Amino acid sequence: MYDIEPYYSWRHLYDAAEDKRSPFFKRIYSEFEFTHAIYDHVIHPQWDEFGSSTLYLKILYADYEKRFTIIEMLGEWNDCLYNDIMYLKRNIIEPLMEEGINKFILIGENVLNFHASEDDYYQEWFDEVEDGWIAGLNFRQHVLQEFIDTNIDYYIAFGGIFDTINWRTDSPNQLFDKINSLITKRLSALF
């Protein structure tokens, strides 16, 4: 797992360590020292720790005018044992929301497993975005099934078209426009 790096092709556009509004402002990274691990597997030092012992992330992009962020994730999302959603909500989502972010794109192709507990934090997050949304892209099928089985998909738009988006070919703003359009169409179909 040490060779799975966060997506770096947008780094010239945005770096969370240089963003005064980011939870990771002034964070210093090593390219050579591996300090974090998921169980007994070391991970690349560019991933950010936020309180979970099995889930790491990277804020790939944030746009405070359009009020969105793109977050890539790595590891095991374990609400059952480690309450990962609480750490994600309190340490990452809430500071971003305080800065005006209300649209969240979560990239989950490197989320290896999901273990659910209660949905309270997901509901709270969903309620607090008000006119925003939460979308999950490219999560593995067994992870999606666990989200569906525990009704987390009520709060986060997953699956279907969201599993087929080749997000690396777009700029962050193109990706946002694409996801925003899909969410708008999905909501329009409901009403």
**Helix H or strand E segment including 127:** helix 120-128
The pLDDT assigned to 191 comes to 55
d(CA 7, CA 4): 9
CB 56 within 8 A of CB 87: no
CATH number for the segment(s) 16-190? 3.30.750.24
The pLDDT assigned to 32 comes to 76
- Tokens, residue 159: 């699956």
CB 88 within 8 A of CB 124: no
Antiparallel, parallel or unpaired: β 55-63 and 41-42: unpaired
Considering the entire predicted model, what is its pTM?
A: 0.96
The pLDDT assigned to 136 comes to 97
Q: What is the DSSP letter of 7?
A: P
The pLDDT assigned to 91 comes to 98
Q: How far apart are the first and last CA of the chain?
A: 44
Segments making up each domain of the chain, as ranges: 16-190
The size of the chain, in residues, is 191
The pLDDT assigned to 143 comes to 97
The pLDDT assigned to 29 comes to 87
The pLDDT assigned to 2 comes to 76
pLDDT one-digit tens code per residue, 80-136:
999 999 999 999 999 999 999 999 999 999 999 999 999 999 999 999 999 999 999
β-pair partners for 41: 38
**Ranges in the chain, pLDDT < 70:** 187-191
